[in-house]
Amino acid sequence: MRQEIKTRGAKLKRLEREIARLGKARDELEQTLGDNAIYAGERREELRQAQAAQRDNAARLAKVEEDWLMLGEEIERLERELR
C-alpha cells in the first residue's frame, strides 16, 4: 500500500506541474486578449485562435484540477487505511 501511495504521490506532483503550466498559459492568453489591438479587423484570425486556445486551455485546466482533487482524496483514503 505504501508503494501505491508513493506512485500516486508522484502522479499528483505531475498534475501539479501541469496545473502550473496551464495556469501560466491562461495568464498569457488573458494578457493577449486584454490587448485592445487584437480586436482590430486585420488581426481577426489571431483573435479567433487566441479565443479557441483560451477555451481549450480552460477545459484542460478544469480536467487536470479535477483529476488532482480526486487523486488527492484517494491518497488520503489510502493513508487512513494504512494507519
pLDDT one-digit tens code per residue, 16-57: 999 999 999 999 999 999 999 999 999 999 999 999 999 999
pLDDT, average across residues 68-80: 97
- How confident is the model at residue 83, as a pLDDT? 85
Indicate whether 75 pLDDT > 90.
yes
- 3-state secondary structure string, the chain? CHHHHHHHHHHHHHHHHHHHHHHHHHHHHHHHHHCHHHHCHHHHHHHHHHHHHHHHHHHHHHHHHHHHHHHHHHHHHHHHHHC
The pTM score is 0.91
Q: What is the model's pLDDT at position 1?
A: 87
- pLDDT at residue 44 in the model: 95
